Amino acid sequence: MKIAKLLTAASIAVTYGCHVYAAVSADEAAKLGTELTVFGAEAAGSADGQIPAYTGGITQPPADFKPNSGKWADPFAGEKPILTITAQNWQQYADKLSESSKELFKRYPDYKMLVYPTHRSVSFPAWFGENCKINAVKAKLADGGQDIEDAFGCVPFPIPKTGEEALYNYIMRFVGTKHKNFVNTWLMDSSGNPVLTGSFKSSLYFPYYDPALGRDGFKKTDGVWYQVQNDYAAPARLKGDTTLFWNYMSSSRDWPGWEYAPGQRRTRVAPDLAYDTPNPGYSGVITMDDIQLMYGKLDRWKAKLLGTREMYIPYNGYKWEYAVPDKEMLTPHFPNANQIRWELHRVRVIELTLKPGARHLYSKKILYTDEDLGGGMMDAYDQAGKLYRGGFEDTVPAYDTKIPYSLGNWFFDFNSGVYLLGSHPSDTAGIFFNVDFPSSYFTPERMQSTGIR
């Protein structure tokens, strides 16, 4: 099998600080909803038929789905794997594997991928598609690629031309407007001992994706596109801790963060929880900007869009996320490979390299992001250029609310031999969308008044 080449073009190999790109032309934007999906992916299937054409995603829940249960039934429960990739045959599929996937096959003789039929299952509300068409002709980058202007209600750049545009699309992909997640995160050490590193509730609000606020209403705000509060119930050292973050449409301004510690009984500013600061909720095994593969401000990175590529990525993992207990997922060396579903999807490949003079634990990251605006994979490299960490994020659409959700993830540290199983909701209350929050909910004042004492 020949190794597929990245579909690259000089016009898209533009890095931060070189140019500022305006919106695409009306003629190009007209491709949305025709040869491109309304959100900018290639609508057609692959030439060999393994990747189907996009036809709107899942719109009808399976018969065993229980609304408002916090869990989603598997619409593909009856399917069987069409391919098993192992440590003995992975080289045949190397062109469709991330470097982290290859490393796992090299290290562990019992590692495998169970590949299932591909389903382009994501679906979106009507208002999302309407905003995609507006963003395509209006949204633009300013201040050397650090600030987004005139965007709302869809990924900012449905037809991305540059690395920074594709990167912002991934970070700002649609995962709902208001919701609460109850999840567990586990560390598996190199000796095969699982440790609960975090059991917490995340409350999230995305003003940028609030149809009640609307484009005009969002323009009147100060540009906070995302707010998240995490309340920890375990382990004991974190019980009662609360963190709050506001993320802006601009990387050139300060992003505030706060932390409430019950031992101190006060809320304090947390400016250090960013970039390559070890993530406390993941026992410090990943950085803050490894959250969801890439998170936070982008001002330390240069970005290049390398093109699109067909790759095996985790997808439609309803079973492992919602039905398989933590204990069953936590097998030595890697999460239970018998439970994880892989599919062949087109991804956008984004290369991040550290800007001259910028400080970071990594010298480079490669992101493989689902063209249909789901999750993906990452490879992170140390300062010597050696593969350091790998990450994977599943895509599990909430079909009843038309939210292409991506939450469950796992990370490997190849230096220490440990892995993290992150944001696993199976043993918790689950995920709840369309939650009502009071207007003062995402404020440090409220966090102080409601903290455990």
pLDDT in tens, 139-159: 999 988 889 999 999 999 999
Closest listed residue to residue 226, CA positions, set 282, 179, 284: 179
pLDDT at 246: 95
Task: Give yes or no for a contact between 123 and 59, defined as CB atoms under 8 angstroms apart.
Answer: yes
Q: For residue 252, what pLDDT band results from cuts at 50, 70 and 90? A: confident
pLDDT at 142: 93
Q: Looking at residues 380-405, what average pLDDT do you find?
A: 97
Beta-ladder partners of 353? 302, 364
Cα Rg of the chain, angstroms: 21
What distance in Å separates the CA atoms of residue 381 and residue 185, rounded to the nearest whole number?
23
pTM summary value: 0.93
Domain-wise residue ranges, the chain:
10-346+365-450
157: its two tokens:
């750049």
What distance in Å separates the CA atoms of residue 51 and residue 71, rounded to the nearest whole number?
27
pLDDT at 451: 61
Closest listed residue to residue 270, CA positions, set 287, 289, 257: 257
Distances (CA, A) of 47 to 53, 219, 368: 10, 42, 21
Q: SS3 of 364, please?
A: strand
pLDDT at 261: 87
Distances (CA, A) of 306 to 1, 6, 350: 22, 7, 6
pLDDT at 417: 96
| CATH number 3.40.50.300 given to 10-346+365-450 | no
pLDDT at 265: 78
Q: What is the enclosing helix (H) or strand (E) of 393?
A: strand 387-393
Strand 341-354 to 112-115 pairing: parallel
Rounded to 5 degrees, what angle do the CA atoms 144, 367, 311 make?
A: 140
Q: Looking at residues 78-96, what average pLDDT do you find?
A: 98
pLDDT at 452: 57
What distance in Å separates the CA atoms of residue 342 and residue 441, rounded to the nearest whole number?
38
What distance in Å separates the CA atoms of residue 94 and residue 312, rounded to the nearest whole number?
10
Beta-ladder partners of 204? 179, 228
Residue 61 has pLDDT above 90, yes or no: yes
Closest listed residue to residue 258, CA positions, set 248, 242, 269: 269
pLDDT at 407: 86
What distance in Å separates the CA atoms of residue 406 and residue 397, rounded to the nearest whole number?
7
pLDDT at 11: 36
Task: Give yes or no for a contact between 380 and 415, defined as CB atoms under 8 angstroms apart.
Answer: no
pLDDT at 356: 95
